[in-house]
Structure 1
Amino acid sequence: MSSRKRFWKSVTLGEQDGLFGPELDGRPIRLPKGTVLAVPSRSLGQALVAEWSRIPDNEAFTPEQLPLTRIAGTMIERIRPDLVEARETLLRRGLDDGLCYRKEKPDSTVERVLEWLAKEGIRPIVTDGLMPITQSGDYITGLERLLAQQNEAELAALGVLTQSFGSLLLALALVSGTISREAAISVANADERRQLEVWGRDDELFRVMMTREQDTTEALTFLGFAQEG
């Protein structure tokens, strides 16, 4: 995506109707669809201010330098208008979840995720084969129930994590606090690690792994601020 140059002198926190967002020289930031960048959490609003303040004077910047803004924008313009569709999109990803395809004996993190899911009434069919799995109606119902409990900020974070991990189940376990960030990344990076063991150093694989770590950090940072209120 093309870059733009910083054109503003000051970044301040604006507040209107219980929403908080950065203002550039006193003017609110508008997202691609015209909605004002403003969130219910003051802490997240302050984090967005800090993010825009870090752009150096008169220097070019890209959306990649504004990860919290990017996630907030998705939440505001894509998730908030239709929470049902946002949940259904995630559900579709969970119907063919990467965590259900085992290429080796599962480690303790995967077992912990499956145990947590079972307590939530979600028992996915797991295979060590390559053929697609058809999950049960009970699995789908349980996953729908769990997704219905997620608010707009959690759905936004889950969207980033699910895409990065290739697994909604792993993302849900991380957002719930069942597993740590490090444990989730370790499971998500398992395929790349196996390839590195077989083929040796591969810069592209390292890039994929580092991007996944960055995506995870950004999503959790966003969610942490959103939950602070």
Structure 2
Amino acid sequence: MADMDKGKEPREQFGAIFGDFAPGQKDSSENPMMRSKEAAKTPLPKRFYKAASLGEETGDRGEALFGVLLDGRKVKSPAKKTITVPSRALAQALVAEWEAQEKEINPALMPLTRLVNSTIDGVEASRGAMIDEIVSYLNNDFICYPATHPERLVLRQKEHWHPVLDRAEEALGGRFVQASGILAVEQSPVMGERLRRLWADLDIFQLGAVHSIMTLTGSALLAFALWDGFLGPDAVWTAAMIDEDWNIELWGEDEEASKRRQFRRAEFDAAVLVLAALRH
């Protein structure tokens, strides 16, 4: 295993490759795709390294940290922070993304790297705002706004959404109000404060992952169900896509929308990988 202190840094061009991230903004799930489209207008940077490998070092508290080495040199984030994670498995997945790049470095094919970059660069400074946004999502969570017709859609939503509501009510100590139409309902603040306490001590990687899952699915409750272990990733994704799938059944699938969905699923899977790697 290579020592992460050896060698100089690889090219400091990752800010231009991966762009910036502002934690807490509601369209964060779309930003990487938009950046990828912008990047497509100019040539992608050439792969400048022969091999990506796993590096290990000791953190300030004596903990083991793992990262990516490109020809033995540390990878840094767009903000020029050394990329390290507290999980060997997670670092190995990062290495695999870098090693999978062939002639060019394509950030669209590196969702885990983008998520880890954004987490290291922005999550700690935005921790309070991110948790506030998660709590506020409980008032607008789409699974609290089921359809009233047609019956087949109503039953499908009920099958996938009601168990999530029941589990969240059990864990957060309250009842969620369900409503239909355009008028928003205000949920009991008790459940929001309970969720805030549960997630106040998440490390930056876990918080970045649950926030990403929330923005990608549009639901804090589905993010909670995944973090809690109540639902697996595929079940969460299915629940999140019910309305979208219904429209596809009715009207067919648009090619551009299909590409966006595939991109979002890759982002989702990266966040799931982070949670799985750091689950105690």
TM, length-normalised to structure 2: 0.73
Q: 4+ residue runs of structure 1 moved beyond 6 angstroms?
A: none
Match of 2:3 in 1: none
Separation (CA, whole Å) in 2 of partners of 1:160 and 1:176: 16
Residue matched to 2:118: 74
- Unmatched 5+ stretches in structure 2: 1-35, 59-63, 148-153
Identity %: 31
Structure 1 residue 129, shift from structure 2 partner: 2.1
Matches within 5 A, 1:124-143: 124-143=176-195
Q: Does 1:47 align with 2:93?
A: yes
Q: Give me the CA root mean square deviation.
A: 2.1
**Between Structure 1 and Structure 2, how many residues are aligned?**
226
Instruction: Give the aligned partner of residue 8 of structure 1.
Output: 49
Deviation at 1:92, TM superposition (A): 2.8
8 Å CA contact 1:47, 1:225 repeated in 2: no
Contact residue 189 and residue 209 of structure 1 kept, 8 A = no
Which TM-score applies when normalising by structure 1? Answer: 0.88
Question: Corresponding residue for 1:158?
Answer: 210
Q: Is the 8 A contact 1:161 1:219 kept in 2?
A: yes
- Structure 1: give runs of 5+ residues left out of the alignment: none
CA contact (8 A) 1:43 1:226 kept: no
Distance 1:53 1:206, change over 3 A: closer
Matched residue, 2:18 = none
Q: Deviations over 1:21-48 (max 9, x none)?
A: 1111222111111111111112212221
Distance (whole Å) between structure 2 residues aligned to residue 126 and residue 113 of structure 1: 13
Amino acid at match of 1:172: F
- Is 2:168 the partner of 1:117? yes
Q: Relative to 1, partners in 2 of residues 1:13 and 1:196: Cα closer, same or farther, differing over 3 Å?
A: closer
Q: Distance in 1 between matches of 2:204 and 2:119?
A: 6
